[in-house]
Amino acid sequence: MYKILFSLLLSAFLQAEVYDGVAIVVKDKAITLLDIKNEMKNAHIDAKKAADILIRQKLEKIEIEDRKITVSSSEVYDDIKKMASRNNMNISDFYDAVRDSNGLSSTELKEKIKQKLLTQKLYQAIAYSSLSAPSQEAIQEYYELHKDNYEHPASFTVIIYDSKDRTALQTKVDNPMFYSPDIQTNEQVLPYSKISPELAQLLEKTPVSSFTKVIPNGKGGFMSFYVKEVASIKEGGVDSVRTQIINSIMAEQREEVLSNYFARLKNNADINVIREVK
C-alpha cells in the first residue's frame, strides 16, 4: 500500500517537474509562461495574441522540420553581405552596427538570419503555387486606396559629419557647438530615388535641424547626417511605384494564403493548453 502511494506521489511530482512553467505544448514543443510574458512585453500585446503568435511559430518550426527545409552557412553569409552592401558597409562594420544598435553578437545575428531564411523558404513552398500577378485594374485600384503610402520627399539637404573618432562625433551630435578637427563635414543634396531605403527611412524620421544617430560609414569610421531641409513631398503617379504596389499586393495575397494554411494546421494539430495566461 505504501509502495503504491509512494509511486503515485513520485509520478505526480515528476509530472509537475516536467510541466513546471509550461503553458502550452504544440505537439512535442513547449511554450512556457515566460515565453508568453516576454512576447507580451516585447510586442505590447495581450496574452491571447502572444500565445497565438508563439503557437504559429511552433507550427512553422514543425513544418520546416517535416519538409526538411535547410539553410546553409553560405546562404546566411550572402544575406548578411547583401544587407551590409545596402547600408554601404563592409561585413565587419555591419556586425559592429548591429551590435551597437541591437546588442546582437555576430553569432546571434547569424542565427536570426538563418531562422528568417528558413521561414522565407517555408512560406515560398506553401504559397508559391497559390499566387498570381495582379491585373492593371487591381494595381490602379490599390494605388488609389493607398496613395498616401507612396508619397515621399523629393530630396534631403544634409550636412554629413564624418569621423574616425566615434566619441568626438557623438559629442558633436549631443552638442552642436562642439568643435573637433577630427570631424569632417560635407553638404549634399540627396535625391530620394538615389539613396538606400534604409537611409531614406532614417532621414525621414529625423526632424529638420536635427542630427541622425551615429552610424558606421563603411570605411572604418562613423557618420551622422544633419538634416537642413526636406524638399516638398511629391506624388509620382502609379507608374513610378508600380513595382512597390505589385510587391504589396503579392505580399497581402501570400499572407492570406499563409494565414488560412496555418489556421487549418492549428485546428488539426495536437495542441495542449496546460494553463491560461492572463
CATH number at residue 223: 3.10.50.40
Instruction: Look up the pTM and report it.
Output: 0.64
Query: How many domains are contained in the chain?
Result: 3
Is residue 16 very low, low, confident or very high in pLDDT (cuts 50, 70, 90)? Answer: very low
Residue 242 domain-assigned (yes or no): no
What's residue 236's pLDDT? 64
In this prediction, what percent of the chain has a pLDDT beyond 70?
91
Residue 99: domain span: 73-131+248-268
77-136 pLDDT per residue, tens? 999 999 888 777 888 888 888 888 788 899 999 999 999 999 999 999 998 878 888 999
Do residues 24 and 273 touch, judged by C-beta distance below 8 A? yes
- Whether 165 and 227 map to the same domain: the answer is yes
What's residue 60's pLDDT? 94
Residue 241 domain-assigned (yes or no): no
Is residue 19 very low, low, confident or very high in pLDDT (cuts 50, 70, 90)? Answer: very low
Residue 146 domain-assigned (yes or no): no
